[in-house]
């Protein structure tokens, strides 16, 4: 049996749309379960963190990337490889600090909000896509890079762009093992 060449891409698109719809239903249910937006944001971040901790193994196996030597390489890898692999988009990376430990990922298109028109007025402090921050933070932690990941701007809140900020918290330690 032969497969048509476009079938794999079609299945990927269907899977992404199913994920986006399911994600919307998840956020809606969390909004029903929790009165405060901060609680929903925390829950989404925690869920994302758990996904990132597990997803990093799949990412490393499928992408066959080499070890990043700098924070800028790491930020580029997240944008150019990971986002492309899992969400089908490539955010723009910009450095936000002279120290070189703060970066922004600017998303021209955010597939998680494909079916969202706007947030309800009573949910103004909801960070709808906070799952992404948790995923990035969890994956980075599994490769021994502590980071703070937050949404800096969000189109759903009326901002011009969607921007995720990544601040690496400490320099990775070079471990040299001595033989006894």
What is the pLDDT, as a whole number, of residue 53?
96
Query: Does 30 reside within a domain?
Result: no
Query: Does 132 reside within a domain?
Result: yes
Q: To which H or E segment does residue 28 belong?
A: helix 7-33
At a CB cut-off of 8 Å and minimum separation 6, what does 141 contact?
Answer: 49, 52, 53, 147
At a CB cut-off of 8 Å and minimum separation 6, what does 172 contact?
Answer: 144, 145
Query: Does 112 reside within a domain?
Result: yes
> What tokens were used for 67?
């070890």
> What tokens were used for 177?
């093992």
Query: Does 97 reside within a domain?
Result: yes
User: Which pLDDT band holds residue 8 (cuts at 50, 70, 90)?
Assistant: low
Q: Return the minimum-mean-pLDDT range out of 55-59, 111-115, 167-171.
A: 167-171
Q: What is this structure's pTM?
A: 0.86
pLDDT digits (tens, 9 = 90+) for 156-180: 998 989 999 999 997 655 444 444 4
Q: How many CB atoms lie within 10 A of CB 170?
A: 10
pLDDT digits (tens, 9 = 90+) for 126-145: 999 999 999 999 999 999 99
Query: Does 93 reside within a domain?
Result: yes
> What tokens were used for 88?
């089908």
Q: Cα dist. 81→17, 107, 115, 118 in Å?
A: 20, 14, 25, 29
User: Which pLDDT band holds residue 120 (cuts at 50, 70, 90)?
Assistant: confident
Residue 2 predicted with pLDDT over 90: no
What is the pLDDT, as a whole number, of residue 118?
84
Query: Does 178 reside within a domain?
Result: no
Query: Does 44 reside within a domain?
Result: yes
What is the pLDDT, as a whole number, of residue 174?
43
Query: Does 179 reside within a domain?
Result: no
Mean pLDDT of the region 41-69: 94
CATH number at residue 83: 3.30.1380.20
Residue 45 predicted with pLDDT over 80: yes
Q: The sheet that has 147-153: what strands, in order across it?
A: 92-95, 102-107, 162-168, 147-153
State which residues form the domain around 102: 37-118+125-168
Q: Structural domain tally of the chain?
A: 1
């Amino acid at each position: 049996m032969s497969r048509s060449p476009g079938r794999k891409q079609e299945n990927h698109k269907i899977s992404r749309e199913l994920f986006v719809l399911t994600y919307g239903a998840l956020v809606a249910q969390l909004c029903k379960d929790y009165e405060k937006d901060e609680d929903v944001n925390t829950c989404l971040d925690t869920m994302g963190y758990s996904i990132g901790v597990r997803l990093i193994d799949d990412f490393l196996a499928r992408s066959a990337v080499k070890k990043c030597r700098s924070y800028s390489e790491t930020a580029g890898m997240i944008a150019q490889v990971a986002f492309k692999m899992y969400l089908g988009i490539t955010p723009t990376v910009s450095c936000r600090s002279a120290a070189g430990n703060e970066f922004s990922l600017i998303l021209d298109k955010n597939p998680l909000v494909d079916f969202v028109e706007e947030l309800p007025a009573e949910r103004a402090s909801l960070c709808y896509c906070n799952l992404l921050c948790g995923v990035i933070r969890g994956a980075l932690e599994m490769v021994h890079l502590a980071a703070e990941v937050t949404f800096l701007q969000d189109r759903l809140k009326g901002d011009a762009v969607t921007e995720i900020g990544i601040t690496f918290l400490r320099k990775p330690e070079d471990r040299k093992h001595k033989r006894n």
